[in-house]
Amino acid sequence: METNAARLQESMEEMARIGATPGGGVHRLTLSDADREARDLFARWSKEAGLSVTVDEMGNMFARRQGTDESAPPVMTGSHLDSVPNGGRFDGALGVLAALEVVRSLNDAGTPTRHPIEIVNWTNEEGPRFPPSMLGSGVFAGAFQRDFAYSIQDATGKKFFDELERIGYLGDLPCRRRPIAAYVELHIEQGPALITEGKQIGVVEGIRGLTWLRITMKGERDHAGPTPMHMRRDALAGAARAISAVREIPGKLHPDLVATVGEVNVSPNAINVIPGQVTFSVDIRHEDESILKRAEELVLQAAKDAAGWEGLDMEVDRIGGSSPMPFDAWITATIDDACMKEGCSSLRMWSAAGHDARYAADLCPTAMIFTPSVGGKSHAEDELTTWEDVFMGCRILGRTILSLAQQS
Amino acid sequence: METNAARLQESMEEMARIGATPGGGVHRLTLSDADREARDLFARWSKEAGLSVTVDEMGNMFARRQGTDESAPPVMTGSHLDSVPNGGRFDGALGVLAALEVVRSLNDAGTPTRHPIEIVNWTNEEGPRFPPSMLGSGVFAGAFQRDFAYSIQDATGKKFFDELERIGYLGDLPCRRRPIAAYVELHIEQGPALITEGKQIGVVEGIRGLTWLRITMKGERDHAGPTPMHMRRDALAGAARAISAVREIPGKLHPDLVATVGEVNVSPNAINVIPGQVTFSVDIRHEDESILKRAEELVLQAAKDAAGWEGLDMEVDRIGGSSPMPFDAWITATIDDACMKEGCSSLRMWSAAGHDARYAADLCPTAMIFTPSVGGKSHAEDELTTWEDVFMGCRILGRTILSLAQQS
């Protein structure tokens, strides 16, 4: 099938102006004003393309193109329009807007499909504002309770529910599983594998498991001057020791394991006060459940040792996680086939980033298509996928969707 | 001389209600609304005690009791009314209000003094909001330029000058050195020495030198999932390694040396993003200049090693510091004499905390009086000096001031 490269690029560029940062990225936190603006634009474009747009009670948006057999379950595709703080312009938006381009191109060609096609914009894929991530798809798939999601607060105490209502995206469609024929998501790789191997498309066979922890160390807040070193219980000294240890754990366990401390909050965070309390996050990912579990044990042991060294109390909060999820062989074969027909190079791979496709896979045959990330960079303002790769990703998505939507 | 214990306690308790925190401390950041309220109360009480109140262009407040010889330079005493975030109720306020009690008691007894007595409330002793600390006394003594102080911004970008004007304490008295006969400051110890040794009064012989650094490590911001460990340049991993090392440096160098990392700021500080930049503070204190210098070298070497290990760029900002300052033997002998006459136990010691007396010592004979801090705790809501010790501190201050103010 043909897609319109110029139109896709224009749409990507217009979307990237919403929440644009001086550094060339986007700052479009979930349920912020910028998120609302992005949603409004997607809804307008969808309606202009003749799609019916519905919003569910988690704010997930579904833009539906009718099929010739309206009793057939839809083929679903899409991604998310929210971003991390000062994130990139391709992460998420590519999957939504390429899906829109596929539908626009089907319209241009007057091509009907047997199955309806639904483009989804999932709420709160990213999660930094309202952890855990993939909340919209998670509630949809039954992994989280809706009311749990509603009650989550951001760092300033604002509730998910109130913000959802405030931006006008509290829909009345129930957020729960329903029949879906297949789910395919196009996304940037966010890692260096495709660039390093010189391949244009990643055929994603599954999503690595993820563990999110928040560890709090409590010591004794005191004046930095008169308190002798041997009398201190410095929460930051303990946390720093633990964070250093976390950095070294993957190297001891498995080459594909990653462990990251991305967030640290120090109290009171004043130059002349010994910190009384420090909270830090740990993000651990691997495709093998047993290695993920072992890594978590090592992280907790390292934190416990560090806390003990400094005489600190420690609390561990398991704030999120998902087990490894292999994708569907029928869908990945369909993507392989599309690559062969387009004559583009591809690589079979596992995703180390979490995606809404993780939860979609609980509901229906699912897989993902990756495009290369220059320098392997993502969640950063200089995140980049070349237009050439963007267009190829869209063509592969189009062929895959068309093939799936014509199945009897 | 007699002082009125009940009146002092009442004043301390009323002052502690300004900026009071649920945990029993005070949150009275420099040039905040709470700081203004504390200043207004001090000014009112001073005027009620017959003192003339003047404010200089740094917001330093001077409440003056006339001497019989108005050509004689004043004996100055006082401290500060600002606090660290969620700090204690004794730090600073004790020195100002005990001085006020001394003057009230002299008034009650109708006791004239040859020298005028001036009670000072120095602006921005603490410094967390507008670093460096001891800014008001520092400009007064010529250690900082007034316009440098005016230009300092807090974390939200508000300027010192604008905030000083906003709270109504931009005075017109020039802030510069003038003749002072002697300076004595009563303060809580903020450390465990007096409690540990079982002494009621600390006779402070000098102030340790202080070095303040701010170290920034710059790596590569990236997605926590797909970036392999060996390709990362994680600014937090490097900073954590450096912070751990700072904790160990004093133990290798000198038992009285202290080194503290109190402040850490991580960018972007999101759970699923590898930190691209981390800035942390280092606070180093010792009474021997050469050991202070050696400690700074070791800190910088440790930071450099940590940055190199993780492949980070590093920047060092020397944001403040002061060399060790021995106090005046005549004043400490006067304090010793007061302790002997009151029959209270005392300990000669150096202060590890910085105080405005550090800069006063550049101008005139200076010393300090310490009262015990329960548990050695300070810069914390549960900072405590018993009332018994507060009253004794006030009596020692009174005897010392009276003795100095009667000198010919």
Structure confidence by residue, pLDDT tens digits, B309-328:
999 999 999 987 888 999 99
pLDDT, position B202: 98
Segment B228-250 shows an average pLDDT of 97
Domains B5-208+324-406 and B209-322 equal at CATH topology level = no
Which site among B273, B286, B347, B384 would you substitute to test the A interface, given the most A Cβ atoms closer than 10 Å to its Cβ?
A: B273
Assigned superfamily of B5-208+324-406: Zn peptidases (3.40.630.10)
Q: What's the pTM value of the predicted model, to 2 decimals? A: 0.76
Give the number of other Cβ atoms within 10 Å of residue B260's Cβ.
Answer: 29
**What is the signed CA dihedral for B393, B396, B401, B406, rounded to 10 degrees?**
170
Read off the pLDDT of residues A300-333 as tens digits, 9 standing for 90 and up: 999 999 999 999 999 999 987 888 999 999 999 9
pLDDT, position B274: 95
Instruction: Check CB contact of B149 with chain A, cutoff 8 Å.
Output: no
Q: Is cis: bond before B132, omega within 30 of 0?
A: yes
Read off the pLDDT of residues B360-374 as tens digits, 9 standing for 90 and up: 999 999 999 999 999
Candidates A117, A112, A183, A199; CA nearest to A330 is A183
* Most distant CA atoms of chain A, gap in Å: 79
A263 with B276: Cβ contact below 8 A: no
Flag whether pLDDT at B296 surpasses 90: yes
- CA distances to A62, B259, B287, B300, B351 from B324, rounded to whole Å, are 68, 15, 5, 21, 10
B285 with A224: Cβ contact below 8 A: yes
Read off the pLDDT of residues A326-354 as tens digits, 9 standing for 90 and up: 999 999 999 999 999 999 999 999 998 88
Flag whether pLDDT at A408 surpasses 90: no
Candidates B86, B274, B366, B149; CA nearest to A223 is B86
Read off the pLDDT of residues A5-53 as tens digits, 9 standing for 90 and up: 999 999 999 999 999 999 999 999 999 999 999 999 999 999 999 999 9
pLDDT, position B249: 97
pLDDT, position A394: 98
CA B123 to chain centre: 10
ipTM of this complex > 0.95?
no
- Residues in chain B within 8 Å Cβ distance of A210: 225
- Residues in chain A within 8 Å Cβ distance of B273: 84-85, 128, 262, 379-380
Candidates A189, A185, A199, A203; CA nearest to A385 is A189
Read off the pLDDT of residues B84-117 as tens digits, 9 standing for 90 and up: 999 999 999 999 999 999 999 999 999 999 999 9
Alpha-carbon span A373 to B152, nearest angstrom: 41
**How many CB pairs below 8 Å do chains A and B form together?**
257
**Residue B316 forms beta bridges with which residues?**
B215
A270 with B262: Cβ contact below 8 A: yes
B258 with A222: Cβ contact below 8 A: no
pLDDT, position B378: 86
Read off the pLDDT of residues A92-124 as tens digits, 9 standing for 90 and up: 999 999 999 999 999 999 999 999 999 999 999
Q: What are phi and psi of B387, to 5 degrees?
A: -60, -35
The two structure tokens encoding residue A146:
């809706």
A221 with B193: Cβ contact below 8 A: no
Alpha-carbon span B21 to B302, nearest angstrom: 38
DSSP conformation letters of B157-201: S-BHHHHHHHTT---SB--S----SEEEEEEE--SSHHHHHT-SE
Alpha-carbon span A230 to B378, nearest angstrom: 16
Question: What type of residue is A388?
Answer: E
Segment A216-231 shows an average pLDDT of 92
- Residues in chain B within 8 Å Cβ distance of A283: 224-225, 271-272
Alpha-carbon span A285 to B317, nearest angstrom: 36
First-last CA distance in chain A? 19
Instruction: Check CB contact of B85 with chain A, cutoff 8 Å.
Output: yes
Read off the pLDDT of residues B198-224 as tens digits, 9 standing for 90 and up: 999 999 999 999 999 999 999 999 889
- Residues in chain B within 8 Å Cβ distance of A352: 225-226
Instruction: Check CB contact of A272 with chain B, cutoff 8 Å.
Output: yes
Pick A189's closest partner by Cβ from B226, B255, B259: B226
Alpha-carbon span A21 to A23, nearest angstrom: 5
The per-residue pLDDT of chain B, averaged, comes to 96
Pick B223's closest partner by Cβ from A131, A228, A378: A378
Instruction: Check CB contact of B374 with chain A, cutoff 8 Å.
Output: no
Alpha helices in A264-326 (DSSP H): 289-310
B275 with A262: Cβ contact below 8 A: yes
Ranking A377-381, B38-42, B315-319, B387-391 by mean pLDDT, the lowest is: A377-381
Segment B153-164 shows an average pLDDT of 96
Q: Which residue of B has its CA nearest to A241?
A: B244
Read off the pLDDT of residues B56-80 as tens digits, 9 standing for 90 and up: 999 999 999 999 999 999 999 999 9
Candidates A110, A121, A102, A154; CA nearest to A41 is A121
Instruction: Check CB contact of A157 with chain B, cutoff 8 Å.
Output: no
Instruction: Check CB contact of B153 with chain A, cutoff 8 Å.
Output: no
Instruction: Check CB contact of A231 with chain B, cutoff 8 Å.
Output: yes
What is the CATH topology of the domain spanning A209-322?
Answer: Alpha-Beta Plaits (3.30.70)
User: What is the domain partition of chain B in residue ranges?
Assistant: 5-208+324-406, 209-322
Segment B262-276 shows an average pLDDT of 94
Give the distance from residue B407's alpha carbon to the nearest chain A alpha carbon, in angstroms. Answer: 33
Instruction: Check CB contact of A141 with chain B, cutoff 8 Å.
Output: no
**What is the signed CA dihedral for A300, A270, A157, B273, rounded to 10 degrees?**
-50
Flag whether pLDDT at A363 surpasses 80: yes
Give the number of other Cβ atoms within 10 Å of residue A295's Cβ.
Answer: 26
Give the distance from residue A213's alpha carbon to the nearest chain B alpha carbon, in angstroms. Answer: 9
Give the number of other Cβ atoms within 10 Å of residue A224's Cβ.
Answer: 31
**Residue B401 forms beta bridges with which residues?**
none
